[in-house]
Amino acid sequence: MSLNILSLTPLPEDIQMAITKTDSSIELIMAPGWFDGEIRDTWPKFTIERYLTPHSNSQSSKLERDKLLGMANIIIVGFPFPLDIKRRSPNLKWV
């Protein structure tokens, strides 16, 4: 059995290594920027201008993003985050 950790925010290499070395069952998936397009569609303009880079957009399809969320047991987020993260993450234990 594996523990799937999804990070929607950038993590330094040493932090990534520390997470994965904690236990051999941990699978860390890095996906910063993957949800920027849908964040742009759901958050107020002020939030987008303040927290996202001007030309950032989703780097994946909705199907790919839904698959990542569907597998995740733990999600590491920053701000802003996908508003429907709980509904799309049936295996979620911790954010």
pLDDT tens string for the chain (95 positions)? 899 999 999 999 999 999 999 999 999 999 999 999 999 999 999 999 999 988 887 778 999 999 999 999 999 999 999 999 999 999 999 99
In the chain, domain spans = 3-20+34-76
Burial class of residue 60 in the structure, from the number of CB atoms within 10 Å of its CB (0-12 exposed, 13-18 middle, 19+ buried): middle
